[in-house]
Structures are given as structure tokens and as C-alpha cells.
Amino acid sequence: MKKPLLYLFILSVLLNIFTYMYFTKKVKFEEDRIANFQKESKAKKDSIAALNNQVMEANYFSLEYNDNAMDYFEQFDINQLSAEIRDEINSLNEKPEGNPLTKYDKINGDKAIINKIKILNNRWIIADFSIGKAWGEVMIKYYKQEGKPTEYETMDTFIYPATLK
């Protein structure tokens, strides 16, 4: 009768040792996994913060983020004003000779078309334009007054020489 009890005791000790080792390793594994997730989470939060800073830096010269320009246009809705200015400039692309704000005539039968517009503040716009394969940029001064049409004046234009080939 003593032998079966001894075997049972040894078996229970072995089961307890294996169970203890299993749960100890499982807890350590879970702790390591949580630590890795926390590191990854922190790295991703840092990346998001860095990208957010880059976006804020890129939008520094933007009508939507310029408090002084927003104060100047306090009687207007900034988003509606931006859309209106963009639409007005893009509508000039429909002219047969091209957009007059670029100050360029047709090149090889292609007219000047403004593609991208960035409203910098309450006075200046920078725009990207193309004339066929030629690309350039234009700096535009604008005046917006309530009840009057927006006035546009081209300050300077530039065509990249490498694109004229």
C-alpha cells in the first residue's frame, strides 16, 4: 500500500512542478508581449506626433492656419472663401488662350493651365501651372472685398527650363 501512495505522491509533485513551470513561463511570456506592445505603441505615438508636427509646419503658410489673415477676413467664412478663390482661378483655365494669371501664351499649341493652388495668406497665392510638358509656378496677389469681385495680380512667374525641351 505504501508503494502506490509513493508513486501517487511523486506523480503529484511532478505535475505540480510542470504546472508551476508552465504558468511561470506563460506569465513571463505575457509580460514580455505586453512590454513589446507598449514599445510599439510608444514608437507609433512618437511617429504620429512627428508627422503632426510636419503637417503643422507645412501648413504654417496657409490661410486656414494664419490667425492674422483669418482676422482680416473675419466677415467671410474662410473655407467658403478659399473654395471661391480656387474656383475663380480654375475657371480662368477655360479661356481659349489659357489662364491669364500665368502671363504665358500658348506653347506648341498648348495653353497654360493652373493645376494646384495654395492660398498663403490674405494677400498671396502660389500656384503650379503647366503648358503642355512645360511646368512652372506663379505668385499671385489678390484683393478680396465684400460685395466686390476678387482682383488678381500676377507678381511673378517661373517656368522650369528643363521642362521646355
The ranges assigned to domains in the chain are 1-58, 63-164
Please write the tens of the pLDDT for every residue from 14-61.
998 889 888 888 889 999 999 999 999 999 999 999 999 999 888 888
C-alpha radius of gyration, the chain, whole number: 34
How high is the pLDDT of residue 36?
A: 94
Assigned C-alpha cell, 107? 506653347
Give the CA distances from residue 100 to residues 85, 104, 152, 154, in Å, rounded to whole numbers and listed in that order. Answer: 15, 7, 10, 9
How high is the pLDDT of residue 64?
A: 85
How high is the pLDDT of residue 151?
A: 94
Q: Does the model's pTM come out above 0.85?
A: no
How high is the pLDDT of residue 27?
A: 87
Phi, psi of 89 (to 5 degrees): -65, -40
10 Å CB burial of residue 102 (0-12, 13-18, 19+) is buried
Residue ranges of the chain with per-residue pLDDT less than 50: none
How high is the pLDDT of residue 3?
A: 85
